[in-house]
Structure 1
Amino acid sequence: MTPSEAQRARALDLLSRGDMAGGIAGLEGYLAGAPDDAGAWRALGAACSAAGRWAEAARALARAVDLDGGEVEARLAYARALVRLGRLDDAAAELRQGAAIEPPDPRVLRELGIVLYDERLHDEAARWLARACEAAPEDGRAAFALGLAHEARRDIASAIAAYREAVRRAPAFADARLTLADALASIGEHEQALRELEALLARERSHERAARNREVLQRALAEMRARRLLGKTERELAQSALVVEAQLRRRETLAPPVAAEGGAARRIVRYTAPLLELRVTLDASGGPGGGAIEALHLALTDPDRAARAEDDVFNVTVIGEDGRQAPVSYATGASLTFLREAIGCPMTQASALYASLLQGSPSVDWGGATLRFASVPGAAGKPGGERHGVLVSRRG
């Protein structure tokens, strides 16, 4: 062994025994005389990284990459050092070059997606993270990061699917279950969210955040069940703000009880006010006056007038982008009050769901209910009286 090789070996031995300062100094001395040893530069970069000396680590690893650009470990370590230094654009560029090395390393794909997520390039992040999930079918963290990217893209359905996959891949990954529970709760699926928290607490009984979230969700679920009209009867409907404030009056049953093959009988009752018509589909098996509400359809009988009139009935306000409260039209006030009471959600949630429908979503699922715009035929004996409005129905 030459003196130079012995110096290298001594430095690596010091590092293996935890003497970071001695090992780093030894490698720096060795590299002064052997500047083309890519492996030694990589070892120096790793040692500096372990010591938290990120600027020095980046310089050493940059040299290692220059000498051997096809070595994935060096490029990956260099990108990590760049991230620590806040140089996200440079880290992404290094990882893109690393991803071009065949076959692509799943770690490079995942970390590139994470860096792009941190740069708020969420669509591109999702594409790379999807590749990482395919390349490493058991990597729960890649699936979790993909869920975060989808959620940032406001694609909550894809986010939930990715979080579920992360939990499947890594059942003990607490953050994945917590985030899945949060996402489920955000769309009103409180029961499913509680199941995820219970599963987490079964593994980690002392997990404080999971226990706290469970208590909050249990209260929210109880309140939602108490408020929502779906599943209740006409007695609760008669006491609702929608009926009381708008002074809706019960009219005729539009159709006699009819049972689909193997299903329960249904009947439809109509309620009206000067600008509104509410149709209530009931499970008629409970007999006259009984039965649970299966669906609710609210229509504006004069949409133009309702849109022009200020809401002085429901007293609904919305928060504008400037943070100020603003009054709404009668049409919006009635629609938001209807959604809030039909599914038992807060007004802010009703506003978000209504906005989603107005922006073109064909339907929205929330809390075991489906919301969509729909048309219903006119009342008996009134051809051409089709009503267009919001339909809320129980899912499943």
Structure 2
Amino acid sequence: MTPPGEARDRALDLLRRGDMAGGIAGLEGHLAAEPGDGGAWLALGAAYATLDRWADAAPALARAVERGGDAVEARLAHARALVRIGQLDGAASALQGAAAIAPADPRVLRELGVVLYDQRRYDEAAAWLARACEAAPGDARAAFALGLAHEARRDIAAAIAAYREAVRRAPGFIDARLTLADALASIGEHEQARIELEALLARERSHERAARNREVLRRALAEMRARRLLGKTERELARSALVVEAQLARRETLAPPVSVEGGGMRRTVRYTAPLLELHVTLDAGGGPGGGAIEALHLALTDPDRAARAEDDVFKVTVIGEDGRQAPVSYATGASLTFLREALGCPMTQASALYTSLLQGSPSVDWGGATLRFASVPGTAGKPGGERHGILVSQRG
């Protein structure tokens, strides 16, 4: 009779040489005689897994866990097999057991986070995946999985930060760049999304999806610039997000029309909403309701209230320098939406221009327009009713 140790060693040697059938048969024979050999159960489970025999692998690996004491490898392998046969609850339990033994093992942390994500336990998934990212600073897949968990939690700013970290850790990680571009585009950051796709295509020139998405974004950016309100008429203004979402209503002409060189009359029209006023200066062209927009002035009629109120109208998402979503007030949401549409620029650019004004720049020139804080007269016939806000006007 062959000693048990020799039978196991011969079976393992067969597996190393690629004889899976012989190795599995040898281990099965060995374990019939020595059922307490945890290492042999682990090897048998791994052999079944190599052949995608997951229904056989799972119970073998469960025996490895039972016989192996504190062996993390057995718990990891068992959890992976349970995932393959759709037993996510069991997989989560196995990985939690592994985490209790090895709380800093990044493999355990990441795989537990992924299983919890698959169970739609997104808050828990994000917590475990954040720990995985800390435990393995170079693990791009942990950062990517964290981004997916945050996006499922509807925290798009945190998701974008995680996707950016995944790309930083692995610049050639295609799925991370694609998903980052999709997330940026979803909040209107078309220019930033295009930059990510350009970076991907610099590495993978034949990547069809990236090339297709880049063209979509290029068209979206062109359409955004084409919808720039400066130079348009009140017809386009009436269809803008600023007017529609804030429910701005057209009121009276603020002052009598004035003559301009070459004939015709320039006039200013007022639009109002509970917390906003929009003053629109139109040039001399066209008849009643005609003329092109030369300048737009957005004023907050109750600045303190607008600064305290949450933006639930424009639904602007602002991402801070730390990659986290910054709280956005109604005042900020309105101001950024105004700049984005007046200039036909991405939200990132609107935010940068607005920040420059807030930091004290007396005026900013961008894209053929000038931006500055300014005051305009209030309702005609009512002295002392000046409105203070952002003025955007054609330059030159």
State whether residues 15 and 23 of structure 1, in contact with CA within 8 Å, keep that contact through their aligned partners in structure 2. Answer: yes
Residues 139, 122 of structure 1: alpha-carbon distance in 2 compared, 3 angstrom cutoff? same
Report the 3-state secondary structure (helix = DSSP H, G, I; strand = E; otherwise coil) of the residue aligned with 1:158. Answer: helix
Q: In 2, are the aligned partners of 1:98 and 1:104 still within 8 Å (CA)?
A: no
Partner-residue secondary structure (3-state), 2:254:
strand
In the alignment, does 2:26 pair up with 1:26? yes
Instruction: Name the CA distance, whole Å, in 2 between partners of 1:353 and 1:129.
Output: 28
In the alignment of these two chains, the number of paired residues is 312
In the alignment, residue 279 of structure 1 is paired with which amino acid?
A: L
Question: Identity over the aligned pairs, expressed in percent?
Answer: 60
Question: Once the two structures are superposed, what CA deviation does each residue of 1:139-195 show, in whole Å capped at 9, x if it has no partner?
Answer: 000000000011111111111000000000011110000000001111111111111
- 1:272 paired residue number: 270
Cα offset for 1:271? Answer: 3.1
User: How far 1:361 moved relative to its partner?
Assistant: 4.9
Contact 1:270 1:279 in 2 (8 A): no
Which AA in structure 1 matches 2:13? D
Q: State whether structure 2 residue 368 is matched by structure 1 residue 367.
A: no
1:330: which partner in 2? none
Q: Detail structure 1 runs of 4+ shifted over 4 Å in the superposition.
A: 243-250, 273-277, 289-295, 297-300, 363-366, 380-387, 390-393
Task: List per-residue Cα deviations over 1:334-368 (Å, max 9, x = no partner).
Answer: xxxxx9xxxxxxxxxx9872899xxx952557723
1:236 aligns with 2:232: yes
- What's the counterpart of residue 378 of structure 2? 379
Alpha-carbon distance between aligned partners in 2 of 1:75 and 1:215, rounded to the nearest angstrom: 46
Cα 1:48–1:278 change in 2 (3 A) is: same
1:385 Cα offset (Å): 9.4
Report the CA distance shift for 1:108/1:243 in structure 2 as closer, same or farther (over 3 A): closer
2:161 is the alignment partner of 1:158: no
Deviation at 1:14, TM superposition (A): 1.6
Note closer, same or farther for the CA distance 1:223–1:297 as it changes in structure 2 (3 Å cut): farther
Partner of 1:195: 195
Q: Go from structure 1 to structure 2 and tell me whether the alpha carbon gap of 1:144 and 1:63 turns closer, same or farther (over 3 Å shift).
A: same
Report the Cα offset of residue 238 of structure 1.
Answer: 3.1
Is 1:91 matched up with 2:91? yes
Q: Aligned-pair distance for 1:116? A: 0.6
Counterpart position of 2:146:
146
**1:1-396 matched pairs, under 5 angstroms:** 3-229=3-229, 233=230, 235-242=231-238, 249-252=252-255, 271-272=269-270, 278-280=277-279, 296=298, 353=315, 361-362=328-329, 363=332, 367-368=347-348, 369=350, 379=378, 381=382
Give RMSD over aligned pairs.
Answer: 3.9
d(CA) in 1 for partners of 2:12, 2:97: 29
Indicate conservation of the 8 Å contact 2:48/2:54, yes or no: yes
Tell me how far 1:296 sits from its aligned partner. Answer: 3.7
Instruction: Write the deviation string for residues 217-258 of structure 1: whole angstroms up to 9, x where unpaired.
Output: 1111111121143xxx2x3253424189965554259xxxxx
CA distance, structure 2, for counterparts of residue 294 and residue 193 of structure 1 = 29
Give SS of 1:353's match: coil
- For residues 247-273 of structure 1, what are the alpha-carbon distances to aligned partners after superposition, in whole Å with 9 as ceiling and x for unaligned? 5554259xxxxxxxxxxxxxxx96336
Which letter does structure 1 place at the counterpart of 2:204? Answer: E
Residues of 2 paired with 1:29 and 1:85: CA distance?
25
Q: Which runs of 5+ in 2 are unaligned?
A: 244-248, 257-266, 282-290, 303-310, 319-326, 337-345, 355-374
> 2:54 and 2:293 mapped to 1: Cα distance?
68
Distance 1:173 1:105 in 2: 23
Asked if structure 2 preserves the Cα contact closer than 8 Å seen for 1:298 and 1:391, the reply is no
Greater shift in the superposed pair: 147-156 or 15-24: 15-24
Q: Verify the 8 A CA contact 2:269 2:280 in the aligned structure 1.
A: no
Q: Is the 8 A contact 2:234 2:293 kept in 1?
A: no
Which is further off, 240-249 or 97-106?
240-249
